[in-house]
Amino acid sequence: MKHGNRSVLVALAAVSVVGVSAGIASADSAAPPATRSDKSFVEFMGNVNVSEIAAGANAQQNATTECVQQAGHVLHANHTQLETKLEPVAASLGVHLPNGPTKADQAMFAPVADKAHTPAYDTAWLNMMFKGHKAVLAKIDQEIANAQNSQVKAYAEMARPVIQAHLNMVYGGQCHTPPPAR
């Protein structure tokens, strides 16, 4: 991928996160209290974000192809922004967000990291990101359908197109340029 495409890719990703995040701040403060499911979703997304920040940084350092390095950069930047947007939602619900990936996530990623600087790393990283983003997207869709708290629902709605764009980048365990912005 050419350097110019990287700038477009990063700009597209940033617009995806920033452009729709205003709805979270304006969510109705008189909304029904969050259910345990809403709080679990916030905890889940906090874990996803810190894990993807770490995985993105790892790909930037250890991938062998420019496409995977750029995908890592986008995931790192987007999940950092998603985490920043999640923090006030979590605080309003009294949910503690993790500071880094769980030991289970670290153990799951270790076999990928062990392949650093080889083509096998790129393949393993893309496959892991594909499976993970499919699962996250399903969880987001479930939360959008069932959320009781308007802040949590607004966050899920804001995060969905970002996660979908990530899934598109790693679809089928192959590195793809995201679709153009609408």
- Give residue 7's pLDDT: 37
- For range 53-81, the mean pLDDT: 96
Residue 13 predicted with pLDDT over 60: no
Pick the more confident residue, 51 or 23: 51
> Taking the CA of residue 59 as centre, how many other CA atoms within 13 Å lie in the half-sphere pointing to its CB?
30
33 — pLDDT class (breaks 50, 70, 90):
confident
Pure H helices in the chain: 3-19, 22-25, 36-62, 66-93, 103-113, 119-146, 150-169
For residue 141, count other CB atoms closer than 10 A to its CB: 13
116 — pLDDT class (breaks 50, 70, 90):
very high
- For range 120-124, the mean pLDDT: 98
Burial class (CB in 10 A: 0-12, 13-18, 19+), 64: middle
pLDDT per position as a tens digit, 72-85: 999 999 999 999 99
Alpha-carbon distance of 53 to 73, in angstroms, equals 9
- Give residue 10's pLDDT: 40
- For range 135-155, the mean pLDDT: 97
- For range 50-56, the mean pLDDT: 97
Please, are residues 117 and 64 in contact by the beta-carbon 8 Å criterion?
yes
Distance of CA 140 to the CA centre of its chain: 11
- For range 13-29, the mean pLDDT: 45
What tokens were used for 103?
Answer: 């030991």
